[in-house]
Amino acid sequence: MKRREVFKIGIRELQNYSHQNFDKGFTELEEDQQGAVLKDFAEDKAKLSTISASGFFNLLRSVTLEGLYSDPLYGGNVDMDGWRMRNYPGNQMSYKDIIEKDFQEIEPTSLQDHM
């Protein structure tokens, strides 16, 4: 299956599972309930007949991280706050001046600055 096909099914199953257990859609759940649903997927406690629940969870987790830390070019990491949170300066052309030095805080820049 292609990733988008896994996603299509996975999101639907997430919704079904939320309805079965909490009588509400996933997005309408309380945060701890959402966490419980995701945990059941991660640990394969949610039994799906179509795809692997934990496989879908892992995919969802990695794309979430990708959205958080990839260049804002892709629509995530808004205002480079994902990078700022980790003191990561994003796209810089050179670190020759600081390679030998202790930690330096640098204002992040993105690929947009190239254009």
Partner 1 sequence: MAKKLPKVDVVIAGVGWAGGIIAAELTKKGLNVVGLERGEERNTEDYYMVHDELRYAIRGELFQDLSKETLTFRSNQKMRALPMRQYGSFLMGSGLGGAGVHWNGQLFRFLPYDFEIRSKTIERYGENKIPADMSIQDWGITYDELEPYFDKFEKMAGISGEENPLGGKRSDKYPTGPMLHSPQMKLFKKATENMKLHPYTVPSANLSEPYENPDGISRAACEYCSFCERFGCEYGAKADPVVTVIPVAKKTGKFDLRTHSWVRRVLHKGGKATGVLYTDVTTGEEIEQPADVVVLTSYVFNNVKILLNSNVSRPYDVSTGKGVVGKNYAYQVIKGASTGYFKDQKFNNFVGAGALGTRYDH
- Interface residues toward partner 1, by CB under 8 A: 66, 69-71, 73-74, 87-96, 98-104, 111, 114
Cβ of residue 103: shortest distance to partner 1, in angstroms? 4
User: What gap in Å lies between CA 52 and CA 93, rounded to an integer?
Assistant: 42
Instruction: Rank residues 31 and 102 by Cβ distance to partner 1 and give the closer one.
Output: 102
User: What gap in Å lies between CA 115 and CA 111, rounded to an integer?
Assistant: 7
Instruction: Rank residues 20 and 87 by Cβ distance to partner 1 and give the closer one.
Output: 87
User: What gap in Å lies between CA 60 and CA 3, rounded to an integer?
Assistant: 10
How crowded is residue 39: how many other Cβ atoms within 10 Å of its Cβ? 12
Cβ of residue 65: shortest distance to partner 1, in angstroms? 9
